[in-house]
């Protein structure tokens, strides 16, 4: 029996799902191992958690490159525009928070910047795709 060839959208969707779920699960595993290792004073587990979290950006970079390689020209252009807007928003958020941190005396965790960037990238890609589909 012959299987139907997967479309580009299906391949990109599979990579995006792997990126989201895999990255989320790896991040959770690393955070839990690090927390447990610190609480129980188990250096190996703490080191494992730290290693997983330190390697996480490389996982995301590899999966993002894989997703881009499976996209057609429109998909690449769409995500380049979305990434540019996400970068701009993260820079505005970072500049604002850095200025407020000194004045108000708080510290913003690094994951906030990452979350803002990735959420903005995904949301912007969705909005741009919907807008382009409408033809405006």
pLDDT digits (tens, 9 = 90+) for 104-116: 988 888 878 878 8
State the average pLDDT for the chain: 84
Residues 51-102 have pLDDT tens digits of 998 998 888 888 888 878 888 888 888 888 888 888 898 899 889 998 999 8
Q: What percent of the chain has pLDDT over 70?
A: 93
Examine residue 35 and state whether it is found in any structural domain, yes or no.
yes
Looking at the fold, whether 11 and 25 belong to one and the same domain comes out as yes
Whether the predicted model's global pTM rises above the 0.85 cut:
no
Sort 79 into a burial class: Cβ within 10 Å, 0-12 / 13-18 / 19+.
buried
Domain housing 108: 72-136
Q: Among the three residues 71, 96, 127, which one is the final residue of a domain in this structure?
A: 71
Looking at the fold, whether 77 and 136 belong to one and the same domain comes out as yes
Looking at the fold, whether 66 and 124 belong to one and the same domain comes out as no
- What is the spatial distance between Cα 33 and Cα 132, in angstroms, rounded to a whole number? 43
Give Cβ neighbours of residue 87 (< 8 Å, ≥ 6 apart).
117
Looking at the fold, whether 135 and 79 belong to one and the same domain comes out as yes
Q: Among the three residues 41, 71, 101, which one is the final residue of a domain in this structure?
A: 71
């Amino acid at each position: 029996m012959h299987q139907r060839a997967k479309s580009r959208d299906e391949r990109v969707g599979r990579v995006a799902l792997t990126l989201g779920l895999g990255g989320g699960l790896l991040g959770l595993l690393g955070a839990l191992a690090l927390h447990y290792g610190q609480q129980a004073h188990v250096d190996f587990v703490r080191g494992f958690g730290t290693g997983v979290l330190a390697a996480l950006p490389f996982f995301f970079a590899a999966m993002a490159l894989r997703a881009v390689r499976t996209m057609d020209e429109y998909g690449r252009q769409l995500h380049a525009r979305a990434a540019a807007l996400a970068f701009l928003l993260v820079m505005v958020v970072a500049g604002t928070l850095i200025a407020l941190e000194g004045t108000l005396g708080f510290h913003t965790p690094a994951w906030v910047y990452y979350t803002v960037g990735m959420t903005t990238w995904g949301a912007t890609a969705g909005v741009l795709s919907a807008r382009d589909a409408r033809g405006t």
